[in-house]
Amino acid sequence: MRRRIYNTETRVLDNIAINEDYFKLKVRVEKKVFEKAQPGQFAQIQCSQEIEVRKNRKFEDHSELANYIRLNIDKLNESQLILRRPICIHNAYKEKDGRKVTHIFEFLIRKKRKGTELLSKLKHGDNLNILAPLGNPFGYKKSVDEGREVLIVAGGMGIAPIVFLCNKLIENGVRPTIFFGFEEDFSINYHSTMRKDLRALSKKVHIASNTLVEDVFVNGFVTDILVDHLKKLSRKKLDAIDIFSCGPTPMLKVVAAIAEQYDVNCEMSLEERMACGFGACMGCVCKTKNNDDEKYKRVCVEGPVFNSKEIIFATQS
């Protein structure tokens, strides 16, 4: 059964600049969208000059807003960004104020070019259209049901979907061990926004970085500390491990090789340029294998989370 997708209007509650490059966007979503979202899934965020059209207008409810959008969508500037930006759900949680419950998605975003630049300028009260939730989530439910040991391996911005994943694991009584690698430019991000959270959400956070952090850290790659951990474990313990990983492709490639070497179950979230985000255009594929059968699968539907055994990483750099 394919999951249902919502084309939904969200309201910006907060947009926090972490530093010049990173920001955290907090939006209110409808309950039904919130309840469908699973860790590893993403949203296709509309980011065009339409954002300007919607700025700072107050709407009573979603239908009033939807109506307004329908009436004004044709005022779009002719030169604009057409494609949405696929951004993973960084966190999803409820805020309670008396009897009022607000359903929240958080997106951790790096400013790259015009689209993410526009998103970084959104302010409290602005409206934002998203398609969500999209994609195949991490298979964490199996880890919970079978009482398996969870290892998280993340690199840099690859931490983005992990916070939501850890929250869901904790909710279900599983405390993961986190291996997190990042370079110097990311360290402020780690210190200011997630150090405390990650510690609270895990058994232990192992850091690999080329920059000094307060935690005990290894000056090297996250994959090195993962190997150090795995090589101490018995076959029986390795068989009971699920690795969930997200990060830059070179890192994922090494993680996949390690998982194969130690014969450990491993799922990883991939990134690819997307157009539609829900399977229609075939734009965002990765090469996969099933025995000898090689084929492209859509990162937006069959992914972004794949079993590492399936993925054929490109040899070309």
Partner 1 sequence: MPHKVSLSVNLKGLTLKNPLISASGTFGFAEDFQRINTFKNEDIGAITLKSISLKPRMGNPPPRIVETPSGMLNSIGLENPGVALFKEKHVVKLKKYDTVFFGNIVGSTIDEYAKVAREFNDIDAVSALEVNISCPNVKEGGIAFGTDPKQSYKVISGVRKNTDKLIIAKLTPNVTDIVKIAEACIDAGADMVSLINTVNAMAIDINTRRPVLFNNKGGLSGPSIKPIAIYLVNCVYNYIKENKLDIPIIGMGGILTYEDALEFMIAGASAVSIGTGSFYDPFIYKRLSKKMTEYLRSKNIYDINEIVGSVEMNKH
Residues that bind partner 1 (CB under 8 A): 2-7, 46, 48, 70, 73-74, 76, 78-84, 115, 131, 272-287, 294-296, 301, 314
- CB closer to partner 1, 216 vs 314: 314
- Tell me which residue has tokens 């509309």: 46
- CB closer to partner 1, 263 vs 294: 294
Q: Considering the complex, what minimum distance in angstroms separates the CB of residue 70 from partner 1?
A: 6
- CB closer to partner 1, 97 vs 293: 293
Cβ atoms of 166 and 178 within 8 Å: the answer is yes
- CB closer to partner 1, 224 vs 272: 272
Cβ atoms of 108 and 90 within 8 Å: the answer is yes
Q: Considering the complex, what minimum distance in angstroms separates the CB of residue 293 from partner 1?
A: 11
Q: Considering the complex, what minimum distance in angstroms separates the CB of residue 119 from partner 1?
A: 14
Cβ atoms of 266 and 243 within 8 Å: the answer is yes
Q: Considering the complex, what minimum distance in angstroms separates the CB of residue 45 from partner 1?
A: 12
Largest CA distance in the chain: 63
Q: Considering the complex, what minimum distance in angstroms separates the CB of residue 159 from partner 1?
A: 24
- CB closer to partner 1, 163 vs 286: 286
Q: Give the pair of three-digit tokens for residue 187.
A: 């360290």
**What phi and psi values does residue 244 have, to the nearest 5 degrees?**
-115, 125
Residues 6+ apart with CB under 8 A from 220: 208
**What phi and psi values does residue 102 have, to the nearest 5 degrees?**
-110, 130
